Amino acid sequence: MMDRHRKDIPVEKLNGSSGFTLLGFSDFHCNHQALFAVFLVVYLLTWTGNLLLLSSIKLSPHLHTPMYFFLGNLSFIDICFSTVTVPKLLMNLLQGGAEITFLECFVQMYAFYSLGNVENLLLSVMAFDRYLAVCNPLRYSSMMNRKIQITLVVASWVVSCLHSLLHSYTVSQLTYCENRLIPHYFCDITSLLQLSCSSTTVAEILIFSEGSIEVVTPFLFILYSYLLIAKAIKRLKTAKGRSKAFSSCSSHLIVICLFYGSVIFIYLRPPANYSADYNRLVSVLYTVVTPTINPFIYSLRNQEVRNTLQKFIKK
């Protein structure tokens, strides 16, 4: 555990006027201007792709179904998720390091983990939606009505915000020394635990155990849902029926692999294996890359969305 009691460095409880310095990628030996251009283009693609998908869903009556309602929410979350971290990252690349106040840091942390957990729960909701559509097609409309859809989305937001509040409050109560350099491009919990001068044992146990439950439970639910879906698809008599059922789930499966793969690599590793450089590089996958490619995955692999986008662009 990260127990630190450094008597040679003054310990200070952070307040609203105190702050940190985000290292970003300023210590990486690379062309920062080129890196800035790449991240800027990717960020603009995130907005463009997700806004196009949202507009297509909004303007096309035949896409007003539960699956696309949840997909629209996922696109909105992806825009917000990247906006929490990327603008500060771009500023960091231009300035060679970015100052961030205590309040800004913990607001960013709260927003980041809230949105990440909403996406986590929403992916499990989408798996449940696919399970009902494939395994209970005759009862699907009544079981996944508008009221149920809204309830599931609102519940995901409420649970995620409370979960993030617990983690953010726990870390905010730690004390920090003069070394306020965060080896990351956003205020990440693991980085702040590393900087703390006070005992982080309780915080680590709480965050790792409760966080593991928050991530693993939806993941297991998704696996179980797709196990039932696979069995239902296998029972279909025609190849066309099996292909159609699988195609409605394939995009979601790709997004799930990208999301949970990066989360497991970063947050479900023991603290002893912590590496700042490793965390920064892998974090790019789910904070920058995944929100950008999600709308393209759903668009390219879904004929209905492709047709709608083509009509929308032609207009």
Domains and CATH numbers, the chain: 19-314 (1.20.1070.10)
Outline where the chain has alpha helix (H).
Answer: 32-59, 66-95, 102-135, 140-143, 146-172, 189-195, 201-235, 239-267, 276-284, 290-300, 303-314
CA nearest 112: which of 147, 86, 145, 75? 86
Rounded to whole angstroms, what are the CA distances from 84 to 120, 160, 299? 17, 16, 24
Contact 247, 301 (CB under 8 A): yes
pLDDT at residue 314 greater than cutoff 70:
no
pLDDT band at 315 (very low <50, low <70, confident <90, very high): low
Q: What pLDDT digit, counting tens, does each position of 105-148 carry?
A: 999 999 999 999 999 999 999 999 999 998 888 899 999 999 99
- Beta-carbon contacts of 17 under 8 Å, excluding residues fewer than 6 positions away, are 101, 102
Point out which residues pair with 19 in neighbouring strands. 101
pTM for the full model?
0.85
Which pLDDT value is given to residue 3?
Answer: 42
Higher pLDDT, 265 or 66: 66
Q: What are phi and psi of 284, to 5 degrees?
A: -60, -35
What is the distance between the alpha carbons of residues 138 and 293, in angstroms, rounded to a whole number?
33
pLDDT band at 202 (very low <50, low <70, confident <90, very high): confident
- Beta-carbon contacts of 220 under 8 Å, excluding residues fewer than 6 positions away, are none
Question: Which residue type is seen at 223?
Answer: L
Q: What is the DSSP string of 216-255?
A: HHHHHHHHHHHHHHHHHHHH-SSHHHHHHHHHHHHHHHHH
What's the chain's Rg over C-alpha atoms?
A: 21
Query: How many beta carbons lie within 10 A of that of residue 181, not counting itself?
Result: 14
Q: Which two tokens stand for residue 294?
A: 């999600």
The DSSP element (H or E) to which 22 belongs, if any, is strand 19-22
pLDDT band at 269 (very low <50, low <70, confident <90, very high): low
Q: Which two tokens stand for residue 159?
A: 């649970």
Looking up tokens 């969305």 gives 305
CA nearest 298: which of 68, 55, 18? 68
Contact 206, 174 (CB under 8 A): no
